[in-house]
Amino acid sequence: MRGFWDRVSGLYDFAELLNRRANLSMERETALWVPPGSRVLDCAAGTGALSLTAAKRAGYVLCTDLSPDMLARAKGKAERAGFMNMEFARRDIFAPPPEEPFDVVIAGNVLHLLDEPKRAVGCLLACVSSGGRLILPTYLQGEAGPGFRAAIGAYRALGFRFREQYTLESYGALIESCGAEVLCLKRLEGRLPVGFGVLKKL
């Protein structure tokens, strides 16, 4: 899958414009859940939209992804925007937790791509400090409009594969089963809606 994201990294931000309403809402909602001065880990960050959103409020953001090409684009954005509180690293979502946990962990639009999304949430929670937050916005392919289903078909032709077509109901059932307090679960409207979930580590 990493090869796919390397191939499409140059088109990724353009493709995101097709769902601009939902993506902007996702950035706004994410910012509300990042406490000022907090330490943030962003996993599967892509070209860094949510990392940069978090960096406006956080004290420190570690932006991670498996794709070097995606990370390079995220780093370029951060440099152009003048952010000095960000670092970048390749990291697997299933990697062992760091020695020092984070106040906030973000994993945007990745759970629908994984064979074991519940295990991924467990690994992400392991990176969060006690009482900290895990922000999990996830595209709801099960609620995509007819026009956006065509865009998904074009992505598939390039090698894109997703494992789940979540609706808000099925996505909610997933995060509610992960052993953490659900602080937020809502739909963000757009051509491809987003299920916006936030968990609190117990």
| Residues 40-78 pLDDT 10s | 999 999 999 999 999 999 999 999 999 999 899 999 999
Q: Is 173 helix (H, G, I), strand (E, B) or coil?
A: helix
The pLDDT, as a whole number, for residue 6 is: 52
Per the prediction, the chain carries an average pLDDT of 89
pLDDT band of residue 146 (cuts 50, 70, 90) is: confident
In this structure, are strands 102-107 and 128-139 parallel, antiparallel, or unpaired?
parallel
Share of the chain above pLDDT 70, in %: 84
User: Does residue 164 surpass a pLDDT of 80?
Assistant: yes
Q: What is the DSSP string of 104-168?
A: EEEE-S-GGG-S-HHHHHHHHHTTEEEEEEEEEEEE-GGG--HHHHHHHHHHHHTT---S----H
125, burial (CB in 10 Å: exposed 0-12, middle 13-18, buried 19+): buried
The pLDDT, as a whole number, for residue 20 is: 85
Q: Specify the length of the chain in residues.
A: 202
The pLDDT, as a whole number, for residue 149 is: 63
The pLDDT, as a whole number, for residue 74 is: 95
Q: What are phi and psi of 67, to 5 degrees?
A: -90, 115
Residues 6+ apart with CB under 8 A from 28: none
User: Does residue 35 surpass a pLDDT of 70?
Assistant: yes
The pLDDT, as a whole number, for residue 162 is: 73
